[in-house]
Structure 1
Amino acid sequence: MSFAAVICASHSTTVVPPMAGAGTELRAGLHFAGHSLVEYQARQAAEAGASHVMILVGAVTQPLSRAVDRLTADGIPVMLVRDMVSLVREAPRDRDMMLIADGAIIAQKHITAVSAHPGNVLLAADDSRATAGFERIDGQHRWAGLLRVSPDLLFGTLDMLGDWDLELTLMRAAVQAGGYRIVVPQEDILEGRIALVDSQASADLVAQALLGGQSEAPSTEGGAEHYLLSRIATRIAPMLLRTQVPATQVRIGGIALSAMGVIAVMLAWPLFGMLLMLCGLTTSLTSDRLGQLARRAQDDGWMALMPGLIVLLGVIMLGDEAGARMDGIYLALLLGIVLLAVRWRRTGGIKPWALFTPGSALILLIIVAFLSSVTAGLALGNLCGIGSVAMMVLRRRA
C-alpha cells in the first residue's frame, strides 16, 4: 500500500540567539548532510517510496522555501502546510501517512522498514538512559520519532478540536490502537543512527557519527574502484559534505585531474600521468558518495562517465607514446565496454574482482611499467580485458 509523508518542522532550537532581535532558528533549518535537516528528511521519505511529502510549518521562511524548490527540482513532490485545516485538505484519504518527528535523524534502513509495514506502526526503542530524551510510550519503550498510521486513525485525530501537538497526539493514538512496534537495537541509539537533535552542535555530532561510517548504499563499482578507490572516496566524502562542497564541483575536479593526466602522458610523463588519472577516478567516486550521503539519486549521465572516458583517451595516448598504438586502442575499447556495463549495471552478475575497470587497468599499467615497460602493461591489460568481457558474456543471467 502506498503512503504519503508529513514532516513536522515548527519547533525552534534550544540555542538562544546571540543578539537581541535575532530570529529564532528552527530545528528543521539545522545544517545536516550538505543541506537543511528537513530537506534530508524529505529525501529519505521519497527514497522509501512516499508518493508526496508535506512539511508542517508554523511559518513559511525563506530557507524552507529554498529547500522546497531544490526538492521539486529533483523530482520530489513536496509542499508546505501551515495548519491542521490545510493538512486535512491536502492529506490523501486513500493511503497511509508516515510521520517524521521534528528534529529526528533516523537511519534509512529504519525508514524503509516502517514504510514496508502497512497500517499503524511505530519505531520504538527500549527505555534506557540512552533514550531519556525520547517520548515515553510505556514502561518498556520510548518513541524513536517515526510512525505510520492508517487514514482512519489520521483523520480521526485531525478531526479533534483544541490546541494539541500533532506528532505526540498521533503517536499516542497509534499506541492506543495497538500499533505494531519495530524496536531498534540500542547500538543504533548509542552510535547516532537514531537521534533527536535540537541544536546545530548536536546535529554536527550526529552527522560525524552517522556520515563518518560506510555508506548505506551498496557500491555498484567493480575492480580496483570497488576494492580500493571507493574505500578512499567513502572516507573523503563525509569531510567534504560537512564543508558543503557541491558534488558537481567535485565531479568537475575529477574530470580536470583526469585531463591533466592525459596531458602529462602526452608530455612523456607516463607514470605521473597515470597517477593523476587514478586521482581523477577517485575524485569522481567521491562525488558519487556525496550524492549517496545526501540521499540524492546517483548520477548516471555522461558527466559521471567523463573521468572514465578521459582515462580511455589516456590509455590510447600511452599506446602512442610506447609505440603500441593498436594495443592502446584495443585496451581502451575493452575498458569502455566494462565501464558502461558497470555504470549501467549490466555486468551479468559476475563478482567485482572479475571486472577489469579503468582503475584496475591504471594500477596494472603503473606496476608493469615500473617493473618492465608500458608496452608489456598494455599487452597484459588486453588479456585481462578480454577475460573480463568474456565472463560478462558467458555468465550473463537470462
Structure 2
Amino acid sequence: MTFAAILSASRASSDSSGALRASLHFAGQTLVEYQARQAARAGADRIMILVSVITPALSQAVDRLSADGIAVALIRDMVSMVRDAPRDADVLLVADGVVIAQGHFDAIAERDGNALLVTDDSRASAPFERIDAGQRWAGLARISPDLLFGTLDMIGDWDLSLTLVRAAVQNDARRITVPQDDLLTGRVALVDGQAQADLVAQAVMSAGSLAKRVRGLAEHYLLCPAARLFSPALMRTQVPATQVRVAAMALGAIALVPIELLWPATGFLLLLVALALAEIADRLDELALRAPPAGWVAFVVPFFAVGGISLAGGSVLATCLALLLAIIQLADRWQRTGGARAWMIFTPASAVVLLLLTTLLGATMMGYEVAMLAAIASAGAIILRKAT
C-alpha cells in the first residue's frame, strides 16, 4: 500500500532566528531534503513539506528532489493540506529537525494504520515531545487518512504535527520503541543548530555502509575502504559528489599522457587514484541517499582505465584484455555478476593494481598474461554461477 509523507519545516534554528532547522546542512544537503529522501526510500510516493515561509534554501531543495524524480510540494496552509493530502492512503509524519536512522523509517513504513516511534523518558530523550508519563515521541509517525482529516477539520491554528501525535496517542496507536543506544549514538536525534547537526551527521556517516552490494576485487578490498575513510571528511566540508566525479574523470584523462610517453607506472598510479576518486563520489552519493549513477557517467573513469591498459600494452593481448575488462565492469556496475564473490570479479581497477605492481617489478608482460587469465576466470565464474 502506498503512502505519502508530511515533513515540517517551520521552526527556527538556534543559530539564528532567521534560519530554519530544516535548512541546516546535513549530509551534503539541507536537513529537510535528507528527510525527504529517507521517506522516499521507505516507499513514500509523494512528499509534502509544511512551511510557514518559502525560503530560497527550501525552493532549491524542492528543485533537487524533483530532479531526482521525487514528487514534492511545499504546503503553506491547512487549505492546501486538505486539498493535496491523499484520502485513500496513510501519511508518514516526520518532525521538524529530527534525524532518524533509515531502519526506523522502514519499520514504520511496513505498518498499516496509526503507529508512533517512541522512546522511553530519559535524559537522552529530553529534547523530544512528551506524550505520557513514561514515553516521548521520537519524531516519526504513521497516520491513517481518517485520523489525518478528522484532525485537519478541527485543527485551526494549532501545530499540525503535535496535534496529530496527540490524536494518535488518544486513538491507541501502536508504538515502536527506540532503543536508548540509538539516542546515545545519534541514530535518533533532534537537532536545532548546525554544530549539533554536524555531530549527528558524523555519527550517521560512521555507522557503516548505506548500500550493500557485491563489488569487484580491488573495489571491495582497496577502493571501498579508502572511500569509507575519506568521504565523511569531504561530506563535512560540503564537497559535492559531482565535483569529485569530475575530478576523477579529469585525472583519468591525464593518466593517459604518461602512458603515451612510455611511463606506464606513473599512468597506472594516476588511473588508480582516479578510480579511487570515482568510488569516493559514489560513497558521497550513498551518504546523501542519492542513487549512484548507472549511465555513461559511471563508466567514464573505468573506461579511461581500460584505454590505458590497452595503450600501455600496445599488443593484441592488451586490447583483448581491455575489452574483456570492459564487459566485466558493465556486469559489476549493473549488478549482473550472479552469485560471484567479490574476489572473483576482476574489474579494470583490479587489473590496474596488478599491472602497476608488475610494472614496478619490471615484469610488465607477465602482468598482462596473469591479468588475462584472471579476467577469463572471472568471466567464467560470473557466467557459470549465474547459470546455476
Q: One fold, TM greater than 0.5? A: yes
Question: Which of 210, 215, 219 matches 1:216?
Answer: 210
In 2, the alpha carbon distance for the partners of 1:16 and 1:394 equals 61
- Aligned pair 1:366/2:356, yes or no? yes
Corresponding residue for 1:333?
A: 323
Cα distance between partner residues in 1 of 2:387 and 2:106: 28
Change (3 A) 1:346 1:161: closer
Moved more, 86-95 or 256-265: 256-265
Question: Residue 377 of structure 2 corresponds to which residue in structure 1?
Answer: 387
Cα displacement (A) at 1:366:
2.1
How far has the Cα of 1:184 moved from its partner?
2.0
Which of 77, 87, 99 does residue 81 from structure 2 map onto?
87
CA distance in 2, matches of 1:12, 1:211: 25
Q: Comparing 237-246 with 26-35, which one deviates more in the overlay? A: 237-246
1:163 Cα shift? 3.0
The more displaced of 120-129 and 352-361 is 120-129
Shift of 1:16: 4.3
Report the equivalent of 1:6. 6
- Following superposition, the deviation at residue 372 of structure 1 comes to 4.5
SS at the partner of 2:177?
strand
Measure, in 2, the Cα distance between the counterparts of 1:247 and 1:397.
36
The answer on whether the counterparts of 2:143 and 2:168 sit within 8 Å (CA) in structure 1 is yes
Aligned pair partner of 2:37 in 35, 39, 43: 43
Match of 1:124 in 2: 118
| Maintained 8 Å contact 1:122/1:143 | yes
Aligned residue identity for 2:184: L
Mapped contact 2:214–2:341 kept (Cα < 8 A)? no
| Aligned pairs for 1:231-310 within 5 A | 231-310=225-304
Measured after TM superposition, the shift of residue 14 of structure 1 is: 2.1
TM-score by length of 2: 0.96
* Paired residues of 1:219 and 1:226 also in contact (CA < 8 A): no
Q: For 2:316 and 2:386, locate their aligned partners in 1 and report how far apart those are by CA, in whole Å.
A: 29
| CA RMSD between the two structures | 1.5
1:315-334 counterparts in 2 under 5 A? 315-320=309-314, 325-334=315-324
Look up the equivalent residue of 1:62 and give its one-letter code: P
3-state SS of paired residue (2:13): coil
Runs of 5+ consecutive residues of structure 1 not aligned to the other structure: 18-23
For 2:14 and 2:304, how far apart are their aligned partners in 1? Answer: 50
User: Gapped runs of 5+ residues in structure 2?
Assistant: none
Q: Distance in 1 between matches of 2:91 and 2:199?
A: 30
Matches within 5 A, 1:173-184: 173-184=167-178
Corresponding residue number in structure 2 for 1:21 = none
- C-alpha distance in structure 2 between counterparts of 1:55 and 1:175, whole Å: 23
Partner of 1:20: none
2:91 is aligned, of 81, 91, 97, to 97
Q: Percent identity between the aligned chains?
A: 53
What corresponds to 1:15 in structure 2?
A: 15
Could you give the per-residue CA deviations for residues 29-52 of structure 1, whole angstroms, max 9, x where no partner exists?
111111111111111111111111
Q: Work out the CA distance in 2 between the residues paired with 1:161 and 1:169.
A: 8
Aligned to 1:169: 163
Matched, 1:62 2:56: yes
Greater alpha carbon shift after TM alignment, 170-179 vs 342-351 = 170-179
In structure 2, the partner of 1:356 is 346
The secondary structure found in structure 2 opposite 1:215 is coil
Q: CA deviation at 1:384?
A: 0.4
Q: Deviations over 1:197-242 (max 9, x none)?
A: 1111111111122123423112442211122101111222222222
* Deviation (angstroms), 1:301: 1.0
**What is the CA deviation profile of residues 336-372 of structure 1, one whole-angstrom value per residue up to 9, with x for unaligned ones?**
1110000111101211111001111111122223334
Q: Amino acid of the residue matched to residue 8 of structure 2?
A: C
Q: Secondary structure at the match of 1:291?
A: helix
Say if 1:212 and 1:235, in contact at 8 Å, map to a contact too: no
Greater Cα shift, 374-383 or 117-126: 117-126
Instruction: For 1:385, give the aligned amino acid.
Output: A
Given residue 298 of structure 2, which amino acid in structure 1 is its aligned partner?
A: A
CA distance in 2, matches of 1:83, 1:231: 47
Q: TM-score, normalised by structure 1?
A: 0.94
* Pick aligned residue for 1:159 from 146, 153, 177: 153
Aligned to 2:68: 74
Letter in 2 for 1:379: E
CA contact (8 A) 1:14 1:198 kept: yes
Instruction: Decide whether the 8 Å contact of 1:318 with 1:374 is kept in 2.
Output: no
Partner Cα separation in structure 1 for residue 202 and residue 338 of structure 2: 37
CA separation in 2, counterparts of 1:54 and 1:263? Answer: 51
Matched residue of 1:51: which SS?
strand
Whole-angstrom distance in 2 between the partners of 1:15 and 1:361: 50
Letter in 1 for 2:268: M
Cα pair 1:369 1:376 within 8 Å, conserved: no
CA contact (8 A) 2:355 2:364 kept: yes
Q: Does residue 1:396 correspond to 2:383, yes or no?
A: no
